[in-house]
């Protein structure tokens, strides 16, 4: 039974305690406020006079400004619950004091004072209640539960209203103040017990306090103003609030004037207020319970945000047409039912998208600046206009304010998604520009940055930046690198010198020759290769003589020189003989021979063919070597091998692709042009779907190099669900920037979203039926993983359809694992344009986040259906898990 | 094959490997070796140069800061699904505790160089290891706070 209720009200697992507490707390506070409001109104209107109400608004605005200064000083500094306790303490004292004065004194000033106590405290409580909820709930929780919690407040208001309606005629309106006090005491007790048990509010983060409280308060207001100035959402929200308050108070004044004229005695007015409160609250409650949640879910926060502005405009229009009880009742319905049912929950949600450190200050601005200004404006307007005969003179400005309220609400809607995204970006530390993205640029700043890296003492850092230097400043790179590498050991120097291959080193020939004399054979060979490329005649002659060297690498270098400069070389027969010997001797000589693969082009076809078998044999031997380094070197050389392959090479590639070492897999991925035709596609997909990003990149590059229509092939694989999901993602990424039509990506997003929905339906069946079998547990985990991957893939496909970076931020929010960021990411997705594509996706995203896949309709009828679907799925891992799960089911 | 799937579930539940995709965990599961111990056996002692990480398949293992632990001196008692010995694989220092078998135990062990190679190949594993160490640190902090408040 309780499960059904929780499902009905969208309460998720683990939230029941929280929800019950908030319902009770808000019930107590609201019951008290209902009694406070109606008693304050009745006492003021009958014992002082409604004509003083505009003056009250003006005084109220000034008091609100002062009180909110105190509020802003504390709002962010202490947990919300502690502030509530302090506030309740002050309020109880003031109410009791008022009661004593009413009973012990004849003065009528107490009634305006009591009225102001209620009005000021209710504004602060309303603002603070929202902050309290935000400190204890995420965006998604607030979206689901805020209407329900506010419904608890409505129940309290109903109880308060009915209590007032029946008790006030018996005990007197003035004694209802004691009831209000009692309810505040009860709320304080609930607060105390709750936080004693559960600690401070979950999402409270105390900022550093740096100055005196009053200055802190002023500073917070200043900061709040600055935030407002810089944020489109806050600007729109502040203007919305301003005009809403003006329209609202014109409406309040109007309806209260009608009621005061209609009900002559204080008791009848009090009773009427009590009943009106109860009735409007019942309506508000019904809407909050059965309409608000679903309306927000169905129409979205932004559409519901426009509802109250429209109804306010309509209410004022009705009063303009007929300033009588029926129109006044419509006005009361609007402000007392529609406002709590729709406006308040939605308004709270808009604030949820702002960073936490802003929220208290922004709410303080609302209470300290906007609300008082609006009240002041409304108060003056009414003070002036109420002297004129007909109410139309204040109703029409009220309607104008309502229209402006509607206008700025639309502006708020426009700013909602951009603010969500900006908040996510800030919280996830996503930069505005990629750092070092343009490091290959040629500015002085770039150069300084690169030089800092080149001169770094860490060799790896230095070499990495040296590579960038070669790309960015080729005219200066040679001398800098030579300088940096002097004094390094032979192996390190060799790595530096290899970077000079594409540079003009004609000015450094003597330096290089000297280094060659003092270096080991390996370094000597590398330097000679550089000098050969440069065309230095002395080096050519010297290098060709190395054909007789003992060192295989030097011999290989001699072959290079002989092939490139045949005029100075002995005949091809001699060269081939040395070359064959290299290939047949041992591992060391074979490795040296691998460097000669690019030189094969210098040989005539017939001579080239004679070396093929020897190379194939060398490959097989080297690929079967125990050392990973040898295999990687062999594979790297094979990348430029365009001769025949063999079965041995193919098997060696298979073995290398399954290596635990990512370096081996990466090198093998670049050699897949040598794999058998039948298996090349599956091996490519395997490489492209590897867990290591460098292997994936290697697979993509091989595919691009070996397939002419690689874009079409990639799209086909993605749409056909070939390969793993990681492979599909690796295939999709390069396609995002090649100018394909948006419809292509929309199709991919749609397809993957549909796949995610199917996986979600499979999960809902599994959750209902699976029991505790391990194989089914693994299948469930796998289905969930694939669901998340499909969602991410769909999101990736959406990137070209929206402004740059937008979807990437949403993906980052989803991947962060932080509940608040995930909630904001879901909310942002739900409010994007092109909802036809994103609607299904955002539903699946929310289900994945909440791990709740229950669904009314499903493609699958039973667990067997799900398992059979997995067995027949294109994804090989899902097949395997499905196969495994099938066995106990068939047993 | 059933053994592989059981291993996968076990790995998936441990903090170190929870972030790794099940598909990728196959390689890890296949790289692990099964070891059987009887009650009273010592898996490793404090100060030993360790080179394996262990995951408990079944049984119970007590972790102690003594080289010859008695029943009461265990700082932690680990059971099925728990992982131990991973810290040493990252910092190359000697074992910081003794692991003794309390009940007959089956373990899966992974050797250090293989783990390092797997981390390079499957970067998500490093996130899992960080998570595991973070949880271990939080646990230690909680114990410290409790002991201080009792004192």
HSE-CB for A664 with a 13 A CA cutoff: 22
Chain mean position to CA A319: 46
Q: Which stretches of A366-456 are DSSP H helices? A: 371-385, 392-427, 444-454
Smallest CA–CA separation between B35 and chain A, in Å?
21
Contacts of B8 in chain A (CB under 8 A): 778
Rounded CA-CA distance A547/A560 in Å is 10
Contacts of A661 in chain B (CB under 8 A): 117, 120-121
B46-74 per-residue burial string, b: 16 or more CB within 10 A, e: under 16: beeebbbbbbbbebbbbbbeeeebeeeeb
Can you tell me whether residue A206 is helix, strand or coil? coil
Is the ipTM higher than 0.95? The answer is no
Beta strand B33-37 pairing with B42-44: unpaired
What phi, psi does A128 have (nearest 5°)? -70, -30
The answer to whether residues A657 and A665 touch, using CB atoms and an 8 Å cutoff, is yes
Tell which B residues from 92 to 121 touch A, by Cβ distance under 8 Å. Answer: 114, 117-118, 120-121
Across the range A20-24, mean pLDDT stands at 88
Nearest to A749, CA basis, from A702, A713, A800, A679? A800
Cβ-Cβ contacts under 8 Å for A352 (sequence gap 6 or more): A134, A139, A142, A359
pLDDT at A77 over 80: no
Name the token pair of A547: 């054909």
Can you tell me whether residue A706 is helix, strand or coil? helix
Q: Tens digits of per-residue pLDDT, A652-690? A: 889 999 888 888 999 999 999 888 888 888 899 889 988
Q: Which stretches of A490-571 are DSSP H helices? A: 490-497, 509-518, 521-534, 537-544, 552-564
Name the token pair of A237: 């929200």
Hey, are the CB atoms on B22 and A691 less than 8 Å from each other? Answer: no
Bridge partners (DSSP) of residue B99 are: B44, B63
- Directed axis angle between helix A371-385 and helix A53-75, to 10°? 180
Bridge partners (DSSP) of residue B58 are: B106
Rounded CA-CA distance A251/A877 in Å is 65
Bridge partners (DSSP) of residue B60 are: B103
Contacts of B2 in chain A (CB under 8 A): 775, 884
Q: Tens digits of per-residue pLDDT, B95-137? A: 888 899 999 999 999 988 788 778 877 777 787 778 777 877 8
Max CA distance (Å), chain A? 127
Hey, are the CB atoms on B21 and A781 less than 8 Å from each other? Answer: no
Select, from the ranges A363-377, A549-563, A838-852, A875-889, the one with the highest average predicted confidence (pLDDT).
Answer: A549-563
Q: Tens digits of per-residue pLDDT, A705-718? A: 888 888 898 999 99
**Tokens 């005695």 found at:** A265
**Tokens 């009791």 found at:** A96
For chain B, helix, strand, coil in percent to 5 are: 45, 30, 25
Across the range A250-277, mean pLDDT stands at 90
| Substitution target from B1, B3, B4, B5 for chain A, most A beta carbons within 10 A | B5
Name the token pair of B117: 């190679």
Hey, are the CB atoms on A691 and B117 less than 8 Å from each other? Answer: no
Q: To which H or E segment does residue A165 belong?
A: helix A139-171
Q: Tens digits of per-residue pLDDT, A539-593? A: 888 888 888 888 888 899 999 888 888 887 788 888 888 898 888 878 888 888 8
CB of B2 less than 8 A from some CB of A: yes
DSSP state of A388: S
Q: Is the pTM of this model over 0.80?
A: no
What totals of helices (H) and strands (E) does chain A contain, helices first?
43, 0
Chain mean position to CA A253: 44
Smallest CA–CA separation between A799 and chain B, in Å?
24
CA Rg, chain A, in Å?
38
The answer to whether residues A456 and A462 touch, using CB atoms and an 8 Å cutoff, is yes
A631-651 per-residue burial string, b: 16 or more CB within 10 A, e: under 16: bbbbbebbbebebebbeebbe
Encode B74-102 in three state secondary structure: EEEEECCCCEECHHHHHHCCCCCCEEEEE
Nearest to B36, CA basis, from B14, B58, B51, B4? B58
Smallest CA–CA separation between B45 and chain A, in Å?
30
Smallest CA–CA separation between A776 and chain B, in Å?
10
Hey, are the CB atoms on B12 and A781 less than 8 Å from each other? Answer: yes
For B23, which residue in chain A has the nearest alpha carbon? A877
Across the range A405-416, mean pLDDT stands at 91
The average confidence (pLDDT) of chain A is: 85
Across the range B31-43, mean pLDDT stands at 91
Tell which B residues from 15 to 54 touch A, by Cβ distance under 8 Å. Answer: 21-24, 27, 31
pLDDT (0 to 100) of residue A766: 86
Name the token pair of A752: 């993957």
Contacts of A691 in chain B (CB under 8 A): 21, 24, 121-124
Rounded CA-CA distance A736/A804 in Å is 11
């Amino acid at each position: 039974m309780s499960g059904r209720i929780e499902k009905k009200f969208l309460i998720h697992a683990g939230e029941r305690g929280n929800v019950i507490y908030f319902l009770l707390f808000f019930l107590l506070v609201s019951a008290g406020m209902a009694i406070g409001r109606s008693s304050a109104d009745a006492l003021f209107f009958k014992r002082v006079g409604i004509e003083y109400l505009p003056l009250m608004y003006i005084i109220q605005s000034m008091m609100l400004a002062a009180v909110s200064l105190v509020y802003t000083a504390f709002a962010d500094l202490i947990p919300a619950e502690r502030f509530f306790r302090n506030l309740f303490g002050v309020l109880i004292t003031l109410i009791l004091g008022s009661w004593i004065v009413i009973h012990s004194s004849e003065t009528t000033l107490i009634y305006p004072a009591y009225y102001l106590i209620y009005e000021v405290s209710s504004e602060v409580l309303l603002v603070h209640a929202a902050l309290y909820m935000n400190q204890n709930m995420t965006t998604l929780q607030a979206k689901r539960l805020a209407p329900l919690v506010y419904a608890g407040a409505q129940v309290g208001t109903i109880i308060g209203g009915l209590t007032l309606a029946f008790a006030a005629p018996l005990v007197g309106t003035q004694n209802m103040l004691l009831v209000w006090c009692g309810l505040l005491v009860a709320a304080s007790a609930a607060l105390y017990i709750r936080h004693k048990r559960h600690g401070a509010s979950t999402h409270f983060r105390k900022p550093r306090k740096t100055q005196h409280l009053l200055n802190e308060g002023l500073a917070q207001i200043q900061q709040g103003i600055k935030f407002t100035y810089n944020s489109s959402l806050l600007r729109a929200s502040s203007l919305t609030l301003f005009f809403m308050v003006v329209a609202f108070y014109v409406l309040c004044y109007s309806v209260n004037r009608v009621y005061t004229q209609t009900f002559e005695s204080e008791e009848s007015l009090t009773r009427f207020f009590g009943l009106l409160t109860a009735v409007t609250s019942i309506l508000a409650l019904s809407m909050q319970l059965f309409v608000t949640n679903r309306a927000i879910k169905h129409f979205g926060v932004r559409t519901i945000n426009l509802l109250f502005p429209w109804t306010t405009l309509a209410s004022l229009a009705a009063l303009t047409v007929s300033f009588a009880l029926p129109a006044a009742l419509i006005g009361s319905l609007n402000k007392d039912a529609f406002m709590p049912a729709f406006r308040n929950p939605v308004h709270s949600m808009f604030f949820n998208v702002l960073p936490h450190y802003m929220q208290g200050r922004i709410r303080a601005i609302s209470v300290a600046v906007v609300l008082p200004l609006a009240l002041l404006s409304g108060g003056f307007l009414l003070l002036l206009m109420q002297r004129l005969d007909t109410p139309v003179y204040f109703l029409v400005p009220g309607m104008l304010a309502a229209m402006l309220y509607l206008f700025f609400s639309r502006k708020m809607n426009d700013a909602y998604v951009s603010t969500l995204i900006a908040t996510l970006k800030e919280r996830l530390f996503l930069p505005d520009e990629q750092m070092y993205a343009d490091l290959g640029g040629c500015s002085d700043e770039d150069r300084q940055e690169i030089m800092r890296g080149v001169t770094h003492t860490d060799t790896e850092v230095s070499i990495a930046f040296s590579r960038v230097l070669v790309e960015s400043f080729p005219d200066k790179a040679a001398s800098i690198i030579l300088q940096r590498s002097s004094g390094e050991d032979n192996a390190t120097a060799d790595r530096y010198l290899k970077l000079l291959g594409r540079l003009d080193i004609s000015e450094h020939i003597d330096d290089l020759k000297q280094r060659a004399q003092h270096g080991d054979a390996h370094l000597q060979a590398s330097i000679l290769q550089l000098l050969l490329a440069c065309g230095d005649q002395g080096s050519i002659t010297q290098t060709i003589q190395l054909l007789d060297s003992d060192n295989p690498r030097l011999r290989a270098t001699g072959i290079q020189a002989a092939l490139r400069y045949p005029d100075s070389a002995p005949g091809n027969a001699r060269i081939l003989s040395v070359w064959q010997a290299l290939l047949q001797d041992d591992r060391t000589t074979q490795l040296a021979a691998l460097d000669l693969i690019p030189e094969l082009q210098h040989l005539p076809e017939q001579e080239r063919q004679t070396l093929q078998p020897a190379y194939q044999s060398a490959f097989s031997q080297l690929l079967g070597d125990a050392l990973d380094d040898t295999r990687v070197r062999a594979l790297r050389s094979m990348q430029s091998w365009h001769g025949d392959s063999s079965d041995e090479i193919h098997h060696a590639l298979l073995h290398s692709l399954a290596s635990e070492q990512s370096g081996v897999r990466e090198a093998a991925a670049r050699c897949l042009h040598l794999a058998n035709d039948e298996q090349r596609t599956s091996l490519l997909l395997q490489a492209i779907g590897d867990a290591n990003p460098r292997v994936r990149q290697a697979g993509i590059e091989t595919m691009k190099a070996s397939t002419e229509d690689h874009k079409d092939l990639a799209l086909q694989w993605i749409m056909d669900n070939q390969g793993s999901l990681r492979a599909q993602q690796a295939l999709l990424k390069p396609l995002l920037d090649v100018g394909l039509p948006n419809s292509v990506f929309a199709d991919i997003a749609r397809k993957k979203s549909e796949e995610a929905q199917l996986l979600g339906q499979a999960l809902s069946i599994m959750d209902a039926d699976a029991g505790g079998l391990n194989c089914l547990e693994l299948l469930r985990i796998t289905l969930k993983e694939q669901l998340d991957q499909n969602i991410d893939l769909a999101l990736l496909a959406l990137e070209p359809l929206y402004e740059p970076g937008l979807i990437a931020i949403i993906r980052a929010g989803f991947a962060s694992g932080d509940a608040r960021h995930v909630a904001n990411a879901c909310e942002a997705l739900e409010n994007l344009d092109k909802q036809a594509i994103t609607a299904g996706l955002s539903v699946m995203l929310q289900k994945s986040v909440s791990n709740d896949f229950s669904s009314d309709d499903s493609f699958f009828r039973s667990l067997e259906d799900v398992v059979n679907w997995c067995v027949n799925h294109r994804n090989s891992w899902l097949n395997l898990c499905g196969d495994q799960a099938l066995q106990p089911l068939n047993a | 094959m059933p053994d592989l799937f059981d291993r996968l579930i076990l790995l998936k539940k441990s903090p170190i490997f929870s972030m790794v995709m099940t598909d990728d965990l196959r390689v890890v599961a296949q790289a692990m070796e099964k070891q059987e111990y009887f009650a009273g056996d010592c898996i490793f002692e404090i100060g030993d140069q360790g080179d394996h990480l262990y995951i408990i398949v079944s049984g119970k293992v007590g972790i102690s800061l003594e080289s010859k632990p008695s029943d009461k001196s265990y700082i932690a008692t680990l059971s099925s699904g728990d992982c131990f010995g991973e810290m040493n694989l990252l910092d190359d220092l000697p074992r910081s505790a003794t692991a003794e078998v309390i009940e007959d135990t089956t373990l899966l062990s992974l050797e250090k160089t293989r783990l390092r190679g797997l981390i390079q190949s499957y970067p998500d594993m490093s996130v899992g290891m960080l998570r595991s160490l973070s949880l271990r640190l939080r646990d230690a902090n909680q114990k410290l706070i409790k002991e201080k408040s009792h004192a």
